[in-house]
Chains A and B, each alone.
Chain A
Amino acid sequence: DADVTQTPRNRITKTGKRIMLECSQTKGHDRMYWYRQDPGLGLQLIYYSFDVKDINKGEISDGYSVSRQAQAKFSLSLESAIPNQTALYFCATSDPGKETQYFGPGTRLLVL
C-alpha cells in the first residue's frame, strides 16, 4: 500500500462549488504539505502543518483552507472553486529533522 494517498485522484467541478481534497499517510510523519502544480510553474506551496495544532499559510493560500484532522490526515478545501484553480494538487509529508519530502500520487482538478 502507498505511504501517502490522496482522494479523489481526479475531480471535475463547476465554478462556485465547494470541494475537498483529502490526504492520508501511514509514514508516521508529523509534517504535511499541500502543493499545486501548473504547467511551467513548478510546485507552489499552499499550506503546511508541522503538527495537528500547527497550520501555516504558504505562498498561494488565498481561496484555499485546510484541516488537520489527525497526524495522518490533512485535507484541502476550495470554498468556492474558480477556473484558475484548475491544476494538479500534491500532498507531501516529512519528518522533523529530515528535510526529505514524500509526495502522494496527486489529484487532478478541473474547474469548469
Chain B
Amino acid sequence: QKEVEQNSGPLSVPEGAIASLNCTYSDRVSQSFFWYRQYSGKSPELIMSIYSNGDKEDGRFTAQLNKASQYVSLLIRDSQPSDSATYLCAVLPGGSNYKLTFGKGTLLTVNP
C-alpha cells in the first residue's frame, strides 16, 4: 500500500508568521509531488508542484523536496487569515499511471 502521511493538525500560526506543512511518502520511486489547498466545503485547488530535489518558490509559497528522506514540505511566508484551509499533499507513485495518492490533509489556521 503506497501511503502519504500528513500531520492532521490543526496547525495554528499568528498572522505574518511562517507556516510549515509536512508530508512523508512511502513509495521510494515516486515521481511528482503536489500541494493542494482546500477551503471548507470547497474543491481542492493546486498551489504548487515539485519534481526535483530542492526548493521551488512561487510568491509566498515554497515547496521543498527531499527524495532521499521521502519528505516534501510547504512553507507559507507572511501567513494571512485567508490562508486558513486544509492543505493536501499528493504524490504520484512510481508506475502509477497517473493515479495520485492524497494525504488526509493538514488544517491550517492563521490567527489575526
Binding site for B on A (CB under 8 A): 31, 40-43, 45, 48, 50, 58, 88, 90, 94, 96, 99-106, 108
Residues of B within 8 A of A106 (CB): 41-43
Residues of A within 8 A of B46 (CB): 100-102
Residues of B within 8 A of A31 (CB): 98
In whole angstroms, how far apart are the Cα atoms of A88 and B105 in the complex?
Answer: 15
In whole angstroms, how far apart are the Cα atoms of A108 and B41 in the complex?
Answer: 9
Size category of the binding interface on chain B: 20 to 34
Residues of B within 8 A of A103 (CB): 43-45
Please determine whether A42 and B104 come into contact, CB atoms closer than 8 angstroms.
Answer: yes
Binding site for A on B (CB under 8 A): 8, 31-32, 34, 41-46, 49, 88, 90, 92, 97-100, 102-105
Q: Is the interface of A mostly helix, strand, loop or mixed?
A: strand
Of A50, A88, A102, A103, chain B has the most CB atoms within 10 Å of the CB of A103
In whole angstroms, how far apart are the Cα atoms of A45 and B111 in the complex?
Answer: 33
Residues of A within 8 A of B90 (CB): 101
- 23 interchain pairs (CB within 8 A)? A40-B8, A40-B104, A41-B104, A42-B88, A42-B102, A42-B103, A42-B104, A42-B105, A43-B88, A43-B102, A50-B98, A88-B41, A96-B98, A99-B31, A99-B92, A100-B34, A101-B46, A102-B46, A103-B43, A103-B44, A103-B45, A104-B43, A106-B43
